[in-house]
A and B are shown apart, each in its own frame.
Chain A
Amino acid sequence: MNAMAGNYVTADGRQIGGVVMEMKNITLRFGGVVAIKDISFDIHEGEIRAIIGPNGAGKSSMLNVISGFYHPQEGEVWFRGSKRPPMKPYEVAQQGVARTFQNIALFEGMSVLDNVMTGRLTHMKSGLFSQAVWKGKAEAEEIENRRKVEEIIDFLEIQNIRKTPVGRLPYGLKKRVELARALAAEPKLLLLDEPMAGMNVEEKEDMSRFILDVNDEFGTTIALIEHDMGVVMDLSDRVVVMDYGKKIGDGTPDEVRNNQEVIDAYLGVAHD
């Protein structure tokens, strides 16, 4: 499949929309180290897009470029039809991009509910003063936000830990809470940085189910980085493969699986 093709229909019959985000010739350097070298790919509306590659391939850097944390020295990021100027991460978040982190970044001392509520921050419009007085608009807004958060808690089946401090939860559940917080922002584009890392088989199956359900129920576009090949191949519609900062493959899981360069990168070849 041509990566630049427009709308298409996936194997399981979902209609995929037009391009939401496009990376054009991105190059990212840290001093003399080239983390990403001249990479271009796009993400379509409603699809699950994976970025894979061996350790140090530049996957997380790529995700950080998308989320606005890193600013590439060369290349352009196009989001929903317009070129994105260099932005702060919170401005990117306001545009409707939410993410989870490889090493969980939750507020350990706060309850699950409060953690997920922080995800609503970009949707809070009332000012500091009315928040403090807690009347009228601020109150109505809080109720609306809480309703949204409760829907997500219900969706991810974490009702029983609603009031539990995050620090007391096992790893797998923390990951789920982090997903809940990202979803609370009602993102157009959801970035997941190794959502299955460190999980056992059962937790991975649960998380896969939730990712598919999120995509299906909310129509959220998802870009994810993952090491577990089985998971990536099952979940994603299209896969970008990176190695040493370069793109070495792009296409459906089947196309990527049979790509010689990808096989070499994963299994290793003698470098001349």
Chain B
Amino acid sequence: MEQDVTSSAGLASLPQLLARNAEQFGQKAAYREKEFGIWQSWNWSQTAEEIDALALGLLHLGVSEGDHIAIIGRNRPAMYWSMVAAQAVGAVPVPLYQDAVVEEMTYVLDHCGAKFVIAGDQEQVDKVIEVQESVKGIEHIIYYDKRGMRKYDHSQMNSFAEVQASGREVRDQYSAEMKRRSDALDYDSTCVMLYTSGTTGRPKGVVLSNRNIIETSKNSSEFDDLRPGDEILAYLPMAWVGDFIFSIGQAYWTGFCVNCPESAETMHTDLREIGPTYYFAPPRVFETQLTQVMIRMEDASKLKQRMFHHFMAHASKVGPALLDGKPVSFWDKLKYSLGNALVYGPLKNTLGFSKVRVGYTAGEAIGPEIFDFYRSLGINLKQLYGQTEASVFITQQPDGEVRSDTVGIASPGVELKIGESGEVFYRSPGVFVEYFKNADSTAGTKDSEGWVATGDAGFIEEGSGHLRIIDRAKDVGKMADGSLFAPKYVENKLKFFPNILEAVVFGNDRDECTAFLNIDLTAVGNWAERNNIAYSSYQELAGHPQVIDTMRSHVEEANASVAQDDMLAGCQVHRFVVLHKQLDADDGELTRTQKVRRRIIEEKYADIITALYDGSEQISTETEVTYEDGRKGSIKATLKLVKAETVAPKTLMAAE
């Protein structure tokens, strides 16, 4: 692939994009953050000045070209500025997951060899100091929030404001050097390094070049007609590639405004106040919001409940068609606009989606009912399919071609092919440069022609050209009788029930499928409260006989739905267990992006899985748990193993 080292528009790096934005959109808001109850904002020229000061300060501290600068904190403008400032001095920004425990952080900081760390607050600084005991390369820590930092040893530590102040002082001395370093950046320079959370093994450092980020941002912004004046809420982890593309790549390319919430807990209030026009959330967020709406509707008055259900039924009938611009009868339209005034509008406002023009969900399959719920309200929610290695975009759904069972057509500039095993491959300008210090893995993932294996099994639908993902290629297996086993398909059906937060289905090489379930504490807790059921812990509620009964009816409903698909009818769940603890990233059971890590769960709960297949009624087990501060403890429980009715594929109609 022969490509130029500069882009057509002559904008080949983030500092260049920033300079263009400062000139072109100078007075328009670039960042907002709610602090002290008020939205503080910075326009593009102020942003350029802040980043400039920070970059000069970093030079003054002795950052060299090619150094890695780790950035750890929640979404705040200063953290985003740090990424661009790092690039401006020729260094490579490496954002880390802020909720990572010390052990994970040690691995990443050691692997990337970061000399400088920019941390959000005291909590992150404490972790880095602990990491420093084993990783000697870290020379200097810069922290943003000064709270509680007064008593620390400041010989190798500075506040963000001090670094900026020193940068402003030494401007004359260093600005030539900074200009030299910024100008040296081209399309092939590294833009950012992101660690993949990895459903298996150690995290890998994905090196993305300016070409990857800027080309992808350009293509995807044009695809959805993003423009200056758009608003997004930046609340997803900064270490995740999606946040980098949305909040930096696309924001700098199109010049829209990035809004940072006051704290993680106020995210929904802030969402509502900002009313973003472009919004991204993983399916879990949409699920949680839908669960909350349903819970609140159950507490509403009878009249409101009837009105809600009546108009929602109408919305699910005509809403998606209206959104796709298909013909709808006059009376249906009229009724929809009445519903909009009475139900949909106020509901969208409460959810913070009043102004959403483009919304995406990705990362996991979304339950069709959840997806349709939001679409029927008139929210243009679409699906995309992406990976860190692709700078996010592989496929996405164009307006008017949105369906819950596909992930859309190839994104602009992306080529797709399906391997012989059914695995999906892609090639695009966004394809990563390499895995940092890991040539073997790079070669194993990307071939000499630039095709990258996604690790997902899927097929391209004839006619529409849409890609459909079945499951992780390595998770798709065969049952003992040779029929197809696709756990994710069944899990997604189960997770649609508001009461079920997480499900893990087993059955590869077995006669029948079994499942682990996690209850959703919000939904089940609310139900318990209304039914006067007392409980003192998650474990107790999860083991309550009535809860288990409810779970059984959910599993049976899901079975009936699975049975409708001839190919996958064998994947019905015969026996299940409601787990005594929530699967958690701190225990390594989920990735930091909340994906299930099957191998680890299979190993950890081997005793329960054995019991699910040997016909026992209950099992006593002890599980190790990790607390948020890294301490370990264990919980003991006796779990009931429950049998669920299954449906024979041929009696499908009767089951309905």
> Which A residues are closer than 8 A to B by beta carbons?
12-13, 146-147, 150-151, 153-155, 157, 159-160, 162, 213, 216-217
**What would 11 more interface pairs be, CB under 8 Å, given A12-B151, A159-B266, A160-B269?**
A147-B36, A153-B36, A153-B37, A154-B36, A157-B263, A159-B37, A159-B262, A160-B266, A162-B37, A213-B148, A217-B147
Q: Are B148 and A160 in contact (CB under 8 A)?
A: no
Bound CA span A216–B151, Å: 9
Q: Is the CB of B147 within 8 A of A213?
A: yes
Contacts of B147 in A (CB 8 A): 155, 213, 217
Question: What residues of B have a CB within 8 angstroms of the CB of A151 in the complex?
Answer: 36
Q: Is B265 an interface residue (CB 8 A)?
A: yes
Q: Which chain B residues lie closer than 8 Å to A147 at the CB level? A: 36
In the assembled complex, which residues on chain B have CB atoms less than 8 Å from the CB atom of A13?
151
Question: Which A residue's beta carbon lies closest to that of B37?
Answer: A150
Q: Is B35 an interface residue (CB 8 A)?
A: yes
Q: Are A216 and B266 in contact, CB atoms less than 8 angstroms apart?
A: no
Find the B residue at minimum CB distance from A160.
B265
Name the distance in Å between A58's Cβ and chain B's nearest Cβ.
Answer: 36
Would you call A160 and B263 a contact (CB within 8 A)? Answer: yes
Considering the chains assembled together, what is the distance between the CA atoms of A213 and B150 in angstroms? 11
Give the distance in Å from the alpha carbon of A217 to the alpha carbon of B38 in the complex. Answer: 23
Number of A-B contacts (CB under 8 A): 32
Rounded to whole angstroms, the CA-CA distance of A200 and B357 in the bound complex is 46
CA distance A153 to B37 in the complex (A): 9
CB neighbours (8 Å) of A216 from chain B are 148, 150-151
**29 CB < 8 A contacts A-B:** A12-B151, A13-B151, A146-B37, A147-B36, A150-B36, A150-B38, A151-B36, A153-B36, A153-B37, A154-B35, A154-B36, A155-B147, A157-B263, A159-B37, A159-B262, A159-B263, A159-B265, A159-B266, A160-B262, A160-B263, A160-B265, A160-B266, A160-B269, A162-B37, A213-B147, A213-B148, A216-B148, A216-B150, A217-B148
Distance (whole angstroms) from the CB of A184 to the closest CB of chain B: 14
Q: A23 to B252: give the CA distance in the assembly, Å.
A: 64
Residue with the greatest number of chain A CB neighbours at <10 A, chosen from B37, B38, B147? B37
> Smallest distance from the beta carbon of A148 to chain B beta carbons, Å?
10
Q: Which of B136-158 touch A at CB < 8 Å?
A: 147-148, 150-151
The distance in angstroms between the C-alpha atoms of A217 and B151, with both chains bound, is 11
Name the CB-closest residue of B to A147.
B36
Q: Given the complex, which residues of A lie within 8 Å of B37, measured CB to CB? A: 146, 150, 153, 159, 162
B191 to chain A, nearest CB (A): 33
Bound: A6/B154 CA distance, A? 30
Chain B residues numbered 1-55 whose CB sits less than 8 Å from any CB in chain A: 35-38
Q: Which residues of B contact A160 (CB under 8 A)?
A: 262-263, 265-266, 269
A164, chain B: closest CB distance, angstroms: 11
B595 to chain A, nearest CB (A): 27
Residue in A151, A155, A160, A162 whose Cβ sees the most chain B Cβ within 10 Å: A160
The residue of chain A having its C-beta at the shortest distance from the C-beta of B38 within the complex is A150
Query: Contact mask B246-285 → A, CB, 8 Å, 1/0?
Result: 0000000000000000110110010000000000000000
Distance between A156 CB and nearest chain B CB, rounded to angstroms: 11
Q: Which residues of A contact B150 (CB under 8 A)?
A: 216
Query: Contact string, B395-421, partner A, CB cutoff 8 A, digits 1/0?
Result: 000000000000000000000000000
- Report how far A155 CA is from B122 CA in the complex, Å: 13
A185, B150: Cα distance in complex, Å: 24
Q: How far is the CA of A240 from the CA of B462 in the complex (A)?
A: 83
Q: Which 9 A-B pairs have the closest CB atoms?
A: A160-B265, A150-B36, A150-B37, A160-B266, A159-B262, A159-B266, A159-B263, A154-B36, A213-B148
Query: Residue of A at shortest CB range from B34?
Result: A159
A247 to B543, CA, bound (A): 52
Chain B residues positioned under 8 Å from A146 (CB to CB): 37
Task: Give Cα A12 to B150, complex, Å.
Answer: 13
Enumerate chain A residues within 8 angstroms of B36, measured Cβ to Cβ: 147, 150-151, 153-154
By CB atoms of chain A within 10 A, which of B36, B150, B263, B265 has the most? B36
Cβ proximity bits B108-151 to A, threshold 8 Å, 1 near / 0 not: 00000000000000000000000000000000000000011011
Kindly provide the distance from the CB of B140 to the nearest chain A CB, expressed in whole angstroms. Answer: 24
CB distance from A95 to the nearest CB of B (A): 28
CB distance from A169 to the nearest CB of B (A): 13
Cα distance, A146 to B37, chains bound together (Å): 9
Q: Chain A residues near B38: list those with CB within 8 A.
A: 150
Over the window 144-180 of chain B, the binary record of Cβ atoms lying under 8 Å from chain A Cβ atoms (1 yes, 0 no) is: 0001101100000000000000000000000000000
B632 to chain A, nearest CB (A): 17
Task: Indicate with 1 or 0, residue by residue over B284-324, a CB within 8 angstroms of chain A CB atoms.
Answer: 00000000000000000000000000000000000000000
A214–chain B nearest beta-carbon distance, Å: 11
Task: Tell me how far the C-beta of A139 lies from the nearest C-beta in chain B, rounded to whole angstroms.
Answer: 16
* Residues of chain A within 8 A of B266, CB atoms compared: 159-160
Enumerate chain A residues within 8 angstroms of B148, measured Cβ to Cβ: 213, 216-217
The distance in angstroms between the C-alpha atoms of A154 and B38, with both chains bound, is 12
CA distance A154 to B151 in the complex (A): 21
Expressed in whole angstroms, the Cα–Cα distance for A115 and B37 within the complex equals: 16
Q: Within 8 Å CB of A150, what residues of B? A: 36-38
Give Cα distance in the complex from A146 to B265, angstroms.
21
Inter-chain CA distance A260–B148, complex, in Å, is 37
Of chain B, the residue at the smallest CB distance from A12 is B151
Q: State in angstroms the CA–CA spacing of A157 and B147 once bound together.
A: 12
Q: Considering the complex, give the chain B residue whose CB is closest to the CB of A113.
A: B37
Within 8 A of A (CB), among B497-538: none
C-alpha gap A150/B39 in the complex (Å): 13
Chain B residues, CB < 8 A from A159: 37, 262-263, 265-266
Closest partner residue, chain B, to A217 (CB atom)? B147
Chain A residues near B265 (CB, 8 Å)? 159-160
* Bound Cα distance from A160 to B271, whole angstroms: 13
Complex Cα gap A151–B38 (Å): 11
Q: How far is the CA of A160 from the CA of B268 in the complex (A)?
A: 10
Q: Scan B599-620; emit 1 where CB is below 8 A from any A CB, else 0.
A: 0000000000000000000000
- Chain A, Cβ-Cβ closest to B262: A159
A179 to chain B, nearest CB (A): 16
A162 to chain B, nearest CB (A): 7
Min CB distance B342 to A, Å, is 25
What is the chain A residue whose CB lies nearest that of B36? A150
Give the distance to chain A from B122, nearest Cβ to Cβ, in Å.
Answer: 10
Distance of A155 Cα from B38 Cα, bound (Å)? 15
Minimal beta-carbon separation of A211 from chain B (angstroms):
13
Cβ proximity bits B318-342 to A, threshold 8 Å, 1 near / 0 not: 0000000000000000000000000
User: Within 8 Å CB of B269, what residues of A?
Assistant: 160
Measured in the bound complex, the distance between the Cα atoms of B185 and A234 in whole Å is 54
Residues of A within 8 A of B35 (CB): 154
Task: Give CA–CA (A13, B38) in the complex, Å.
Answer: 37
